[in-house]
């Protein structure tokens, strides 16, 4: 059976009113009414969840951009999965490079991955190299990131992890990675996954992120062979984001 695609909107810290948030979601819903085999996940700032979650359905889901590795306690400024429970939050982005940049390390990301898995949230764990060296050191870097993501994850939870490959040099850039290069990385990630978790790896979804837009998405998904996208800037534009979603089914 063909795997369902996942297209994730990472709004980052860009949408500031409930009205704007609702407008994006409802316009995307209208424009993608005929899309059948794709899950669409909006990750707004959590302040909007109480009003937005009512717009969720089987196909349109909500996620968060981060979650605390702890359930409760003296963790000023953090949000627990417990905060998200009433709002049907199904996904959380974990270890985005913008969080790694402010100090999140592989160990913390593994802990956050586990707290998601144990509490009914699918973690979308971000991996990706900062730069490419000519000796291929970035390949080992990715392999080590993958090993760390899955450390101590029980066998029955492995397929609930979604990996998002986002080379840091493509995030926020003017152009995305070439589709052929995405495919090369897809194969490498598959190989590392097989080595790390065995054959269940066939069912782990691999997304691509970094400068995805309505123009490049069709080739990246078809040639790159990925299971979906993590979209930043283009997810703020309902028309462009809807095109990305539609392209994922072509
Ligand atoms: P971008 O961001 O699509 O704006 O490049 C992607 C991301 O940070 O996930």
pLDDT tens per residue across span 186-218: 999 999 999 999 999 999 999 999 999 999 999
Q: What is the pLDDT of residue 187?
A: 98
Q: What is the pLDDT of residue 250?
A: 79
**For 107, phi and psi rounded to 5 degrees?**
-65, -45
pLDDT tens per residue across span 16-55: 999 999 999 999 999 999 999 999 999 999 999 999 999 9
Q: What is the Cα Rg of the chain in Å?
A: 17
Q: What is the pLDDT of residue 2?
A: 62
Active-site residue, 107 included: no
CB 158 within 8 A of CB 200: yes
SS (H, E, C) the chain: CCCCEEEEEECCCCCCCHHHHHHHHHHHHHHCCCCCCEEEEEECCHHHHHHHHHHCCCCEEEEECCCCCCCCCCCCCCCCHHHHHHHCEEEEEECCHHHHCCCCCHHHHHHHHHHHHCCCCEEEEEECCCCCCCCCHHHHHHHHHHHHHCCCCCHHHHHHCEEEECCHHHCCCCCCCCHHHHHHHHHHHHHHHHHHHHHHHHHCEEEEECCCCCCCHHHHHHHHCCCEEEECHHHHCHHHHHHHHHHCCC
Active-site residue, 130 included: no
Nearest residue (CA) to ligand 1, atom 7: 232
Q: What is the pLDDT of residue 14?
A: 98
Q: From the CA of 130, how far away is ligand 1's center (Å)? A: 14
The mean pLDDT value of the chain amounts to 96
Share of the chain above pLDDT 70, in %: 99
Provide the pLDDT confidence category of residue 15 given band limits of 50, 70 and 90. Answer: very high
Q: What is the pLDDT of residue 111?
A: 98
Q: Which residue has the higher pLDDT, 3 or 178?
A: 178
Nearest residue (CA) to ligand 1, atom 3: 232
In short, whether 211's Cβ falls inside 6 Å of ligand 1 is yes
The Cα 94–Cα 68 span in angstroms is 10
In short, whether 240's Cβ falls inside 6 Å of ligand 1 is no
Q: Is residue 1 scored above 60 in pLDDT?
A: no
Provide the pLDDT confidence category of residue 148 given band limits of 50, 70 and 90. Answer: very high
CB 12 within 8 A of CB 98: yes
Q: From the CA of 191, how far away is ligand 1's center (Å)? A: 25
Q: From the CA of 79, how far away is ligand 1's center (Å)? A: 22
pLDDT tens per residue across span 69-119: 999 999 999 999 999 999 999 999 999 999 999 999 999 999 999 999 999
In short, whether 10's Cβ falls inside 6 Å of ligand 1 is yes
Q: From the CA of 54, how far away is ligand 1's center (Å)? A: 26
Q: Is residue 170 scored above 80 in pLDDT?
A: yes
SS (H, E, C) 161-189: CEEEECCHHHCCCCCCCCHHHHHHHHHHH
Distances (CA, A) of 64 to 84, 93, 219: 8, 6, 28
Choosing from 232, 233, 237 the residue with most ligand 1 atoms within 8 A of its CB, the one to mutate for a pocket test is 232
Q: What is the pLDDT of residue 133?
A: 87
Q: From the CA of 139, how far away is ligand 1's center (Å)? A: 21
The Cα 41–Cα 61 span in angstroms is 5
Choosing from 8, 164, 210, 235 the residue with most ligand 1 atoms within 8 A of its CB, the one to mutate for a pocket test is 210
């Amino acid at each position: 059976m063909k795997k369902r695609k996942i297209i994730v909107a990472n709004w980052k810290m860009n949408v500031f009113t409930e009205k704007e948030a609702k407008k994006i979601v409802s316009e995307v819903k209208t424009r993608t009414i005929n899309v059948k085999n794709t899950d669409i996940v909006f990750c707004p700032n959590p302040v909007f969840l109480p009003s937005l979650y009512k717009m969720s359905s089987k196909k349109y889901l909500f996620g968060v951009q981060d979650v605390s590795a702890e359930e409760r306690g003296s963790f000023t400024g953090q949000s627990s999965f417990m905060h998200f429970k009433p709002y049907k939050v199904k996904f959380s982005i974990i270890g985005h490079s913008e969080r790694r940049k402010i100090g999140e390390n592989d160990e913390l990301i593994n802990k956050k991955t586990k707290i998601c898995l144990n509490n009914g949230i699918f973690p979308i764990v971000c991996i990706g190299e900062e730069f490419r060296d000519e000796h291929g050191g970035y390949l080992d870097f990715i392999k080590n990131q993958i090993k760390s993501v899955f450390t101590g994850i029980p066998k029955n939870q492995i397929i609930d992890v979604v990996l998002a490959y986002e080379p840091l040099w493509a995030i926020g850039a003017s152009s995305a990675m070439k589709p052929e290069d995405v495919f090369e990385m897809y194969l490498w990630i598959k190989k590392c996954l097989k080595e790390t978790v065995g054959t269940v790896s066939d069912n782990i979804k691999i997304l691509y992120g970094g400068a995805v837009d309505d123009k490049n998405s069709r080739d990246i998904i078809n040639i790159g062979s990925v299971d979906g996208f993590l979209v930043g800037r283009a997810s703020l534009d309902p028309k462009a984001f809807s095109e990305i979603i539609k392209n994922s089914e072509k």
